[in-house]
Amino acid sequence: MYEQISHSLLNEILDELKPEIRRQNLRHFYTRLGANFYAIHSLFDQLYGNREDFRQKIIELVEVLASRYIERAPELEQIDMARERDHNWFLSEEWVGMALYADGFAGSLKGIKKHLPYIQELGVNMVHIMPMLVCPEHASDGGYAVSDFRDIDPRTGSLKDLVKVANALRKRGILLTLDVVVNHTSNEHQWAKRAREGDKKYQDYYHVFPDRDIPDMFEETMPEVFPESAPGNFTFDEQMNQWVMTVFNTFQWDLNYSNPAVFIEMVDIILYWANRGADIVRLDAVAYLWKKIGTACQNEREAHLILQMMKDCCQVTAPGVLFIAEAIVEPFEITKYFGEDAVIAKECEIAYNATFMALLWDAVATKNARLLNQGLLSLPDKLNRATWLNYVRCHDDIGLGFDNLDIKKAGYEPVPHRKFLFDYLTGAHETSNSRGHPFGLNQKTGDARISGSLASLVGLETAIENEDEAGVDRAIRLILLLHGLILSFGGIPLIYYGDEVGTVNDYSFKDDEHKAGDSRWIHRPRMDWERTEKRHQRGTVENLIFDGLKKLIGVRKTIPAFADFNNRQLINVENEHLFVFLRNHPEKPGEMLLVVANFDSRPQYLDLSDLSKQLRVHGASLKDLASGESPVVHRQHLVIPPYRFYWLTDQ
């Protein structure tokens, strides 16, 4: 958009840029800056317009954008331009992701290179390497307490190794996702150290207070993220003799985005990793970016403005790079992280579908899809050109963050229902063989979350221990069922490393005093590469899961109806054990695919006579693309075996 004030300011800024920047060939940079500057300027003005250094700061920001653009490798610029032309590229059915810790998966970054054939064998073509930047060894929060945003932890490798991995991935057509922990730093970060030494400039990078007055006011409305291990939201720093805001762990200092210097630093860091080869940047804990007394300090409007500005800036310098929003918040808040008032994503193109994930676990525990269906109705439609990251497990806990109203509409009472889920997933319930572990128990609110690996949560660990063949079979079916759903729901499916071979809980964290208080370590395994070899031995657990998943991934990539163009319709069916939805071919509306999943331990049927009018589905000609078989249809009743799912087409 053209607007006089921002346009004349832009001209002045360009005149004032450092001579070394002005000398460069910046054609594409200028066209993109011209297109985005109005938005950047007005957002910057909304957040920082009342500051005396406003003009200085916006010049600094443009200098950062230009400097990182100049640095961007020609190969990456080519990719930027190709993606500008094919801007829907990431909505395709072709993408399948895996999240992994470099050290847990392969010992190191070098190890990842070695195991790329394994990743490709499975069909994964998007790899999220979890944070591996310099972190204090015993206060790392699994890599999310960063003490140097520009260097790799030597225990995992070096910057050179990372660039090599990025190049190797690119050659194989695999996308690289990297984290930028935008909300906080480790207390060992240079900025925090300087703040502690009394440097006012860096104290202003954080939320620092001389006494408890303001912290106490904040506490009145702020929930606790880690109530057991880090109660409260402020930590007293002896050296500084002040209180500092620490929403997560006591060693993670929240950054102060009301200071434009922090914003500029972070944009610089995001672009730094874009230039090291990240195709996608996962922005951590984005819901927390803005703090305001009297609020929960989550999902504040300004947090969205910051993300919009980050997106606009990234589009100027590295437009091919996408953002993932890690915002594990209520359904109606999650979709806002795509951006609200535009067709195309204006904040993050991708967001974790935490709602779907948690609802899937409800269906596993209850063996029905009542809350799953109800809860999905509460998930607002997302923008076009935005997509979900659908997952079953990740490195974090499972929060039971459903809407109380939805729980009621599904026919339960919220408090006992949550208690049932918690008991079921932790194995306390008599019908359960799940091995989840409690996480983040909050005595004040009664909130409880769950850790545990996928395999242990679905009972594989218990079944193997008890030599219970039926239990093993059930667990494998459930693992494939859950993946069958994230592969077909619409969005990028994200497999969690180890789940593809049924990795069970790792209890070794209990022996490490620095990890013992955080049960999420139970599901951050070290890959056992000898065991993964068993995937080649027919009939082993590893073989059944790996091969099953590999086939599903292969089939997903051939089904255009699985691309994400808001082409999904939930189908209400009478049988509560079934979860049913329809996917349409984005360009050929007549071409449809029906997904039917049975969460029950008994076979269930779906009456096709009602469906056939609505959907033109005829029993006689149905084929399940997931297995390649024709399902049993008895007198217009489709039969779905226990814990099975179908991807049905009309042949």
- Shortest Å distance, C-beta 95 to ligand GLC: 21
Nearest alpha-carbon partner for 131 in 143, 146, 113, 140: 143
Torsional class of 459: left (φ above 0), alpha (ψ -120 to 50), beta (otherwise) = left
Beta pairing class for 322-325 and 604-607: unpaired
Task: Report the site for ligand GLC in 366-395 (rule: CB under 6 A).
Answer: 395
Q: Nearest to ligand GLC by Cβ — which residue?
A: 144
**Quick check: 229 and 518 in contact, CB under 8 A?**
yes
Helical pair 301-317 and 54-71, crossing angle rounded to 10 deg = 40
Q: Judged by CB under 6 A, does residue 142 bind ligand GLC?
A: yes
- Shortest Å distance, C-beta 179 to ligand GLC: 8
Q: Judged by CB under 6 A, does residue 91 bind ligand GLC?
A: no
**Quick check: 231 and 31 in contact, CB under 8 A?**
no
Cβ proximity to ligand GLC: between 48 and 361 the closer is 361
Q: What's the Cα-to-Cα distance from 405 to each of 157, 294, 400, 439, rounded to whole Å?
A: 48, 25, 14, 24
Give the span between the Cα atoms of 453 and 394, in whole angstroms. Answer: 9
- Shortest Å distance, C-beta 439 to ligand GLC: 11
- Shortest Å distance, C-beta 96 to ligand GLC: 21
Taking the C-alpha atoms of 229, 230, 231 and 235 in order, what is their torsion angle to the nearest 10 degrees?
A: 150
In the numeric block, the tokens 């930590």 are attached to: 235
Cβ proximity to ligand GLC: between 406 and 506 the closer is 506
DSSP string, 592-642: EEEEEEE-SSS-EEEEHHHHHHHH---GGGEEETTTTBPPPEETTEEEE-T
- Shortest Å distance, C-beta 142 to ligand GLC: 5
- Shortest Å distance, C-beta 378 to ligand GLC: 22
- Shortest Å distance, C-beta 284 to ligand GLC: 5
Give the span between the Cα atoms of 550 and 555, in whole angstroms. Answer: 9
3-state DSSP helix/strand/coil % of the chain, to nearest 5: 45, 15, 40
Total residue count of the chain as it appears in this document? 651
Give the span between the Cα atoms of 537 and 401, in whole angstroms. Answer: 40
Give the span between the Cα atoms of 115 and 591, in whole angstroms. Answer: 38
- Shortest Å distance, C-beta 331 to ligand GLC: 17
Give the span between the Cα atoms of 181 and 623, in whole angstroms. Answer: 45
- Shortest Å distance, C-beta 141 to ligand GLC: 5
Q: Judged by CB under 6 A, does residue 254 bind ligand GLC?
A: no
Cβ proximity to ligand GLC: between 326 and 349 the closer is 326
Cβ proximity to ligand GLC: between 10 and 99 the closer is 99
Q: Judged by CB under 6 A, does residue 326 bind ligand GLC?
A: yes
Active site residue 204: no
Cβ proximity to ligand GLC: between 128 and 418 the closer is 128
According to CB under 6 A, which one of 285, 358, 460, 594 is a site residue for ligand GLC? 285
CA 382 to chain centre: 16
Cβ proximity to ligand GLC: between 176 and 593 the closer is 176
Write the interaction track for ligand GLC spanning residues 394-433; mark x where CB under 6 A is met and - where it is not: -xx-------------------------------------
Give the span between the Cα atoms of 453 and 522, in whole angstroms. Answer: 7
Count the site residues for ligand GLC by CB under 6 A.
Answer: 10
According to CB under 6 A, which one of 44, 234, 248, 509 is a site residue for ligand GLC? 248
Give the span between the Cα atoms of 292 and 535, in whole angstroms. Answer: 52
Work out whether the CA dihedral 138, 143, 148, 154 comes out positive or negative: positive
User: Which residues neighbour 300 within 8 Å (Cβ) at sequence distance 6 or greater?
Assistant: 289, 290, 291, 292
Cβ proximity to ligand GLC: between 90 and 101 the closer is 101
User: Which residues neighbour 629 within 8 Å (Cβ) at sequence distance 6 or greater?
Assistant: 623
**Quick check: 256 and 55 in contact, CB under 8 A?**
no
Which H or E run contains 352? strand 350-352
Active site residue 333: no
Give the span between the Cα atoms of 523 and 452, in whole angstroms. Answer: 5
Task: Report the site for ligand GLC in 143-182 (rule: CB under 6 A).
Answer: 144, 181
**Quick check: 523 and 506 in contact, CB under 8 A?**
yes
- Shortest Å distance, C-beta 529 to ligand GLC: 25
According to CB under 6 A, which one of 80, 93, 94, 141 is a site residue for ligand GLC? 141
Q: Judged by CB under 6 A, does residue 268 bind ligand GLC?
A: no
Q: Is 648 helix (H, G, I), strand (E, B) or coil?
A: strand
Q: Which stretch binds ligand GLC (CB under 6 A): 79-87, 136-144, 475-483, 560-568?
A: 136-144
Q: Which stretch binds ligand GLC (CB under 6 A): 34-42, 138-146, 338-346, 588-596?
A: 138-146
Task: Report the site for ligand GLC in 14-73 (rule: CB under 6 A).
Answer: none
Among residues 326, 347, 461, 518, which one is catalytic? 326
Cβ proximity to ligand GLC: between 64 and 146 the closer is 146
In the numeric block, the tokens 């390497």 are attached to: 129
Tokens standing for 295? Answer: 């609020």
Cβ proximity to ligand GLC: between 389 and 561 the closer is 389
According to CB under 6 A, which one of 237, 279, 284, 600 is a site residue for ligand GLC? 284
Cβ proximity to ligand GLC: between 356 and 420 the closer is 356
Among residues 161, 279, 284, 564, which one is catalytic? 284
- Shortest Å distance, C-beta 494 to ligand GLC: 13
Cβ proximity to ligand GLC: between 284 and 423 the closer is 284
- Shortest Å distance, C-beta 326 to ligand GLC: 6
Tokens standing for 421? Answer: 């889920």
Cβ proximity to ligand GLC: between 396 and 600 the closer is 396
Q: Which stretch binds ligand GLC (CB under 6 A): 137-145, 337-345, 424-432, 548-556?
A: 137-145
Torsional class of 502: left (φ above 0), alpha (ψ -120 to 50), beta (otherwise) = left
Nearest alpha-carbon partner for 181 in 259, 282, 261: 282
Q: What's the count of helices (H) and strands (E) in the chain, helices before strands? A: 25, 25
Give the span between the Cα atoms of 537 and 253, in whole angstroms. Answer: 49
In the numeric block, the tokens 């194989």 are attached to: 172
Residues that bind ligand GLC (CB under 6 A): 141-142, 144, 181, 248, 284-285, 326, 395-396
| Positions marked catalytic | 284, 326
